[in-house]
Structure 1
Amino acid sequence: MPHLYFRGLSVEQVQAIGGSLETELSAIIGCEPSDLMLEVVHTTCIAGGRIAPSYPFVEVAWFERGREVRDAVARCLDRHIRGSGVPEVEVAFRSYRPSDYYANGEPFGADPAEELEALLADNAKLKDDLARARKAAAAATAGSMSTRLRDALRE
């Protein structure tokens, strides 16, 4: 992970840029080059009822890493592919949530809805604890404070 699917490019074209591309992308993304999976998808494009050349297109499937990294990855792919003589290329990103991506039957992350529910429960408990602490503090200082001082602290 990440997976890069190349369409409209030959195996030889991807092989020619693969080594340097993997090295640069792994530095941008922050992963090992061996974590990247480059696949050439063989497709047949039909235009006007006839077989036509497929447009060069790269789909990056990954866990979202933010706009800055996404932009850098797109520029890197563009530079390597167009630098190899391909006049145009498009890049699209498909982001997976770790809770929706499984390896050997196990998800890569917790379900965000379950995490949110746990955080909301923790937040409610903290609110209750804070309300009790404020009440206890107010009761403890109520007898030893003048009415004027208590009113000033409330403001």
Structure 2
Amino acid sequence: MPHLLIRGIAPERIRTVAGPLTEELAAVCECPADYFMLECLHATAVSPEGELVSSYPFIEVAWFDRGLGAQDRFARAVDRHVRQALGLPELEIAFRVYRERDYYANGESFGDDQAQDAPPPEEELESLRQANRKLAEELRKARKALSSSAAGGAMSTRLRDALRE
């Protein structure tokens, strides 16, 4: 772990960059280079017209989240060692994040039981965004009501109570 699932690039070409690539990725992830698995997958691409075409160069990274900074460094290293070094015109990289609690080796989870109860960071972030949108809308309404009361109307009891909270 991490696993790089590689499509659209011949294994012989990946072999030429595997050593330097995994050494740099190991430094980014702060783990031994032998933790990495580079898998060249055979894929048959079919065009919308039904023609067999070359697969697009694509690397899917399956890993445990190491933060956005590490992810950015990882992607740049893969791009430099694969796209640039092999002279590919384009390369796409996507990350699939595994939660340690949901990843097993030999029947044993990599995570602890307490982490299972915590919401995933993306769910927590979306919940906070929704709460922020709700508060922003309430603030907008309060400001609007306040400006209309300053123009001559009296502040309602309901608005006054809301502003106190």
% same residue: 48
Secondary structure in 1 aligned to 2:88?
A: coil
* Structure 1 CA distance for aligned equivalents of residues 95 and 118 of structure 2: 25
For structure 2, the 5+ residue unaligned runs are 120-165
Task: Map 1:27-106 to 2 at 5 A.
Answer: 27-47=27-47, 48-82=49-83, 83-106=85-108
Aligned-CA RMSD value: 1.3
Maintained 8 Å contact 2:101/2:116: no
Q: Tell me which structure has the larger Cα radius of gyration.
A: 1
For structure 1, the 5+ residue unaligned runs are 117-155
TM-score by length of 1: 0.72
TM-superposed CA distance for 1:86, in Å, is 1.0
CA deviations on 1:90-149 (whole Å, 9 max, x unpaired) are: 000000001110000010002434468xxxxxxxxxxxxxxxxxxxxxxxxxxxxxxxxx
Secondary structure in 2 aligned to 1:18?
A: helix
Consecutive aligned runs of 4 or more in structure 1 exceeding 4 Å deviation? none
Question: 1:101–1:114: structure 2 CA closer, same or farther, 3 Å change rule?
Answer: same
* Structure 1 CA distance for aligned equivalents of residues 81 and 90 of structure 2: 11
TM-score by length of 2: 0.68
Paired residues, number: 116
